[in-house]
């Protein structure tokens, strides 16, 4: 295993080895402060934060290994034995509901030769590797290894061959994993947001199968920025976004004590509007919403990799899966109250909902790709933000804090190693 694996109670910490703080990384770190200012003063991140593979390796440790990373939603694995797999930063993971109904996140890599045990979505009683039929229970314990007894009896073998269970947390049904096992719990850092969206009861919603978009050649942070920034909606999406004009946007002030998400509502001109070409909700509106909540969409980024929009009839969400500094795979999903799925015409209406969202996404895709080309240029900008980009300076503050914390961690280890020499 390339990561250091440490048992911490009933889960494992699995950190990637530190990166070296190279001159390039130090140069970027030294230039971050102007991006982490109050909104009126803040400027965008150095362009290399979006394009440098060296910086991406730094980010995998600073952000993805040390904070909470979204890997799915409980609405896709409602029953015991249900599983869904996700490959996150080169780690094939399995998200499953065990026999007792407890959601677990574990490695999906067979402890024998490394074959990925399964892919996709399904229901199992145990996990059997197709290659040599090594078999694991839903706690990740090895329970069968054909023909291995003469080498090592199962009781011995299972001590060294297992699927490490990782620390996870569920918030509003979204399942998060923390590779290092030491992140501060997520929910206490989402207090204001939890209150704002509680009437959606997202934790009780069921999900439709995900769509993966594999060829998006831009940086994971820009995916979030485009999604959480309402300045562009009045221009890029002119016409199809007019029912939710950016003049009806409001923002929250940044609270470093409640920093688990960046979010803002956009108001609708009419009640029960939605993102499709009828500009109305296609499914029944969630019964528990207030009038105010039926007149807005709440856009939410839970950094680093979850984005969702809470609309009056459900939720659409993106799970961003970085592949490099320059590419992501986007996983898209929809959540609805269980009764919505009982509609006999669900499949037809759902197709209209998907096509509707795609109209906005198609415009964003073309633009995101173009922005990434610009960020790779020697003429790449680093500029001030518009008032309606308040969420972007908030994202920066979230990121810069984590970048600095990890750099300090590496420095401290370097000093300790030098002192011990």
Closest to Fe ion by CB, 37 or 363:
363
Closest to Fe ion by CB, 234 or 251:
234
Contact 233, 244 (CB under 8 A): yes
DSSP 8-state code for residue 341: G
Which stretch, 4-12, 50-58, 249-257, 364-372, contacts Fe ion (CB under 5 A)? 364-372
Number of residues binding to Fe ion, judged by CB under 5 A: 1
Closest to Fe ion by CB, 84 or 224:
224
Q: From the CB of 111, what's the least distance to Fe ion, in Å? A: 43
Closest to Fe ion by CB, 180 or 364:
364
Q: Can you tell me whether residue 3 is helix, strand or coil?
A: coil
Which stretch, 182-190, 309-317, 356-364, 383-391, contacts Fe ion (CB under 5 A)? 356-364
Q: Can you tell me whether residue 249 is helix, strand or coil?
A: strand
d(CA 178, CA 189): 15
d(CA 329, CA 213): 6
Which stretch, 133-141, 195-203, 292-300, 358-366, contacts Fe ion (CB under 5 A)? 358-366
Q: From the CB of 358, what's the least distance to Fe ion, in Å? A: 12
Closest to Fe ion by CB, 246 or 326:
246
Q: From the CB of 338, what's the least distance to Fe ion, in Å? A: 30
Closest to Fe ion by CB, 121 or 240:
240
82 forms part of the interface with Fe ion (CB under 5 A): no
Q: From the CB of 364, what's the least distance to Fe ion, in Å? A: 4
> Using the rule CB under 5 A, which residue among 364, 365, 388, 395 binds Fe ion?
364
d(CA 242, CA 236): 11
Which stretch, 156-164, 211-219, 306-314, 359-367, contacts Fe ion (CB under 5 A)? 359-367
> Cβ-closest residue to Fe ion?
364
Residue 196, both tokens:
């704002």
Closest to Fe ion by CB, 211 or 235:
235
Q: Give the DSSP H or E segment for 73.
A: strand 69-73
Q: From the CB of 222, what's the least distance to Fe ion, in Å? A: 12
Q: How many other C-beta atoms can be found within 10 angstroms of the C-beta atom of residue 165?
A: 19
User: How far does the chain reach from its first CA to its final CA, in angstroms?
Assistant: 27
Q: From the CB of 127, what's the least distance to Fe ion, in Å? A: 39
Q: How many residues does the chain have?
A: 421
Which parts of 233-274 are beta strand (E)?
262-267
Window 50 to 69, contacts with Fe ion (CB under 5 A) = none
Which stretch, 81-89, 170-178, 203-211, 362-370, contacts Fe ion (CB under 5 A)? 362-370
Report the largest interatomic distance among the alpha carbons of the chain, rounded to a whole angstrom: 73
d(CA 330, CA 392): 20
Q: From the CB of 389, what's the least distance to Fe ion, in Å? A: 13
Mark 202-225 as b/e (b = at least 16 C-beta within 10 Å). Answer: beebbbbebeeeeebebbbbbbbb
Closest to Fe ion by CB, 14 or 227:
227
Contact 266, 227 (CB under 8 A): no
Q: From the CB of 399, what's the least distance to Fe ion, in Å? A: 21
Which parts of 132-267 are beta strand (E)?
135-136, 142-144, 165-171, 174-178, 206-207, 211-216, 262-267
Closest to Fe ion by CB, 293 or 364:
364
The residues binding Fe ion (CB under 5 A) are 364
């Amino acid at each position: 295993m390339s990561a250091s694996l440490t048992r911490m109670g009933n889960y494992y910490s699995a950190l990637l080895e530190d990166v070296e703080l190279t001159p390039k990384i130090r140069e970027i770190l030294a230039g971050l402060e102007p991006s982490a200012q109050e909104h009126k003063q803040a400027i965008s991140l150095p362009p290399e934060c979006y394009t440098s593979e060296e910086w991406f390796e730094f980010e995998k440790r600073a952000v993805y290994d040390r904070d909470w990373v979204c890997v799915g939603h409980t609405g896709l694995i409602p029953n015991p034995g249900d599983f869904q797999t996700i490959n996150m930063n080169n780690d094939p993971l399995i998200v499953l509901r065990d026999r007792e109904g407890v959601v677990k996140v574990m490695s999906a890599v067979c402890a024998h030769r490394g074959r990925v045990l399964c892919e996709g979505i399904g229901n199992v009683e145990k996990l059997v590797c197709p290659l040599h039929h090594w078999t694991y229970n839903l706690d990740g314990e090895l329970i069968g290894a054909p023909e291995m007894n003469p080498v090592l009896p199962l009781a011995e073998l299972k001590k060294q061959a297992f699927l490490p269970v990782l620390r996870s947390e569920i918030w509003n049904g979204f399942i998060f994993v923390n590779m290092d096992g030491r992140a501060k719990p997520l929910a206490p850092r989402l207090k204001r947001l939890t209150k704002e969206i509680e009437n959606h009861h997202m934790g009780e919603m069921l999900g439709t199968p995900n769509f993966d978009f594999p060829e998006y050649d831009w940086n994971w942070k820009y995916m979030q920025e485009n999604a959480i920034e309402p300045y562009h909606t009045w221009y890029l999406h002119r016409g199809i976004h007019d029912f939710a004009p950016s003049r009806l946007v409001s923002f929250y002030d940044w609270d470093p004590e409640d920093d688990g998400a960046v979010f803002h509502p956009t108001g609708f001109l009419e009640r029960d509007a939605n993102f499709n070409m009828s500009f109305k909700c296609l499914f029944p509106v969630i019964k528990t919403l207030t009038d105010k909540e039926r007149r807005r969409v709440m856009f939410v980024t839970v950094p680093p990799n979850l984005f969702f929009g809470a609309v009056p009839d459900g939720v659409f969400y993106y799970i961003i899966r970085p592949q490099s500094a320059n590419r992501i795979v986007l996983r898209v999903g929809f959540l609805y109250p269980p009764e919505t799925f009982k509609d006999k015409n669900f499949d037809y209406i759902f197709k209209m909902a998907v096509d509707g969202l795609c109209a906005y996404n198609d415009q964003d895709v073309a633009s995101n790709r173009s922005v990434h080309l610009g960020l790779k240029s020697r003429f790449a900008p680093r500029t001030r933000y518009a008032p309606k980009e308040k969420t972007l300076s908030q994202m920066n503050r979230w990121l810069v804090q984590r970048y600095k914390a990890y750099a300090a961690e590496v420095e401290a280890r370097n000093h300790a190693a030098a002192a011990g020499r």
